[in-house]
Structure 1
Amino acid sequence: MDLATVLLTIILISIFAYFCSFGKYNKKNLPPGPRALPLFGNILTMDIGAPHKTFMKLAKQYGTVFTVHLGRSKFIVLCGYDTLKDALVNHAEAFSERAKVPIFTATSKGYGIVFSNGENWKVMRRFTLQTLRDYGMGKRTIEDRITQECDCLVQKLRSYEGRPFSDTTCIYAAVTNIIMSILLSKRYDYEDPTLLRLMSLICENIKLLSSPGVMLYNCYPNLAYYLTRAPKKIFKNINIFGDLIRESFTKQEQELDVNDQRNLIDAFLTKQREGKPESTQYYHNENLIMLVADLFGAGMETTSTTLRWGILLMMKYSEIQQKVHDEIERVMGSAQPQMEHRKEMPYTDAVIHEIQRLADLAPSGLYATAKDVTFRGYFIPQGTTVIALLHSALRDKDYFEKPDDFYPEHFLDSHGNFKKNEAFIPFSIGKRSCTGENLAKMELFLFFTSLLQNFTFRPPPGATLDLTPDRGFTNAPKPYEVCAIPRS
Structure 2
Amino acid sequence: MALSAILLLIIFTGLLLLWGHPASWGRLPPGPWPLPFLGNVLQMDQKGLLKSFQALREKYGDVFTVYLGSRPAVILWGYEAMREALVDQAEAFSGRGHIAILDPVFQGTGVVFANGKSWKVLRQFSVTTMKDFGMGKRTIEERIKKEAQCLVEELRKSQGAYLDPHFLFNSISANIICSIVFGERFNYQDPRLLRLLHLLNEIFIILCSFYTQVFEIFPGILKYFPGTHTRLYSMLQEVKDFITENVERHQKMLDPSGPKDFIDSFLLRMDKERSDPESEFHQENLVHTVLSLFFAGTETSSSTLCFGFLLLLKNPDVLEKVQAEIDRVIGAHRLPALEDRPKMPYTDAVIHEIQRFSDLVPVGVPHSVIKDTHFRGYYLPKVRPAGSQILIVGAVCLQSYGSYPVLDYDKNFHFQISMEEKRF
SS at match of 1:78: strand
Alpha-carbon shift at residue 271 of structure 1 (Å): 0.6
Aligned partner of residue 216 in structure 2, secondary structure: helix
1:342 and 2:348 are equivalent in the alignment: no
Q: 1:53 to 1:394 in 2, by over 3 A?
A: farther
* Closer, same or farther: CA 19–104 of 1 in aligned 2, 3 Å: farther
Give the Cα–Cα distance (whole angstroms) in 1 for the partners of residues 339 and 224 of structure 2.
54
Change (3 A) 1:394 1:279: farther
Shift, 1:228, TM fit: 4.6
Task: Please name the residue that 1:364 is paired with.
Answer: 363
- Count, aligned residues: 398
Tell me by how many angstroms 1:135 deviates: 0.3
2:354 is matched with which residue?
355
Other-structure match for 2:284: 286
Q: CA deviation at 1:268?
A: 0.4
Q: Any residues of structure 2 matched to 1:160-309 within 5 Å, and which?
A: 160-275=158-273, 281-309=279-307
From 149, 152, 176, the equivalent of 1:151 is 149
Partner of 2:56 in structure 1?
58
Once residues 182 and 409 of structure 1 are traced to their aligned partners in structure 2, the CA distance between those partners, rounded to angstroms, is: 38
* Contact 1:360 1:394 survives alignment (8 Å): no
Shift in alpha-carbon separation, 1:404–1:134, aligned structure 2, 3 A: farther
Decide which of 378, 389, 393 is 1:387's aligned counterpart. Answer: 393
In the TM superposition, what is the alpha-carbon distance from 1:216 to its structure 2 partner? 2.8
For residues 38-86 of structure 1, give each alpha carbon's deviation from its aligned partner in whole angstroms, at most 9, with x where no partner exists.
2211112212332112111111111111110111111101112221111
Alignment of structure 1 residues 415-434 onto 2, 5 Å:
421-422=423-424
Q: What is the TM-score with the length of structure 2 in the denominator? A: 0.88
| Whole-angstrom distance in 2 between the partners of 1:401 and 1:65 | 28
| RMSD over aligned Cα atoms | 2.3
For the pair 1:68 / 2:74, whether they are aligned, the reply is: no
- How far 1:101 moved relative to its partner? 2.1
State how far apart, in whole Å, the 2-side matches of 1:75 and 1:362 are: 17
- Deviations 1:225-257 (Å, cap 9, x if unpaired)? 233511111111111111111011101110000
Tell which deviates more after alignment, 350-359 or 26-35: 26-35
Task: Tell me the distance in 2 between the aligned counterparts of 1:78 and 1:278.
Answer: 39
C-alpha distance in structure 2 between counterparts of 1:279 and 1:158, whole Å: 54
Distance 1:276 1:226, change over 3 A: closer
Distance 1:279 1:332 in 2: 55
8 Å CA contact 2:129–2:265 kept in 1: the answer is yes
Give the counterpart letter for 1:379 in structure 2: Y
- Which sits farther off after the overlay, 320-329 or 280-289? 280-289
TM value normalised by structure 1: 0.77
> Is 1:331–1:345's contact at 8 Å kept on the other side of the alignment?
yes
Q: Distance in 2 between matches of 1:227 and 1:211?
A: 18
The alpha-carbon distance between structure 1 residues 188 and 374, as it changes in their structure 2 partners (threshold 3 A), is same
How far apart are residue 102 of structure 1 and its match?
A: 1.4
Q: Is the 8 A contact 2:349 2:406 kept in 1?
A: no
Superposed, 1:3-18 pairs within 5 Å as none
Aligned match of 2:378: 378
For 1:367, give the aligned amino acid.
H
CA-to-aligned-CA distance 1:335-392 (integer Å, 9 cap, x gap): 2111101110000000000000000000012111111111111111113211111235
> Retained in 1: the 8 A contact 2:26–2:381?
no
Of the candidates 107, 124, 127, which is equivalent to residue 125 of structure 2?
127
Distance 1:289 1:23, change over 3 A: same
Q: Which moved more, 1:45-54 or 1:75-84?
A: 45-54
Q: How does 1:396-475 map to 2 (within 5 A)?
A: 402=408, 406=413, 413=419, 421-422=423-424
Q: Percent identity?
A: 37
* Structure 2 counterpart SS, 1:92: coil
Change (3 A) 1:338 1:79: same
> Does the 8 A contact of 1:364 with 1:391 survive in 2?
no
SS in 1 for 2:81: helix
Alpha carbons 2:19, 2:36 under 8 Å: kept: no
Deviation at 1:37, TM superposition (A): 1.9
Equivalent in the alignment of 2:308: 310
How far apart are residue 222 of structure 1 and its match? 2.8
Task: Kindly indicate whether the alpha-carbon contact (under 8 Å) linking 2:356 and 2:399 is maintained by their aligned counterparts in 1.
Answer: no
Distance between the aligned counterparts of 2:374 and 2:210, measured in 1? 34
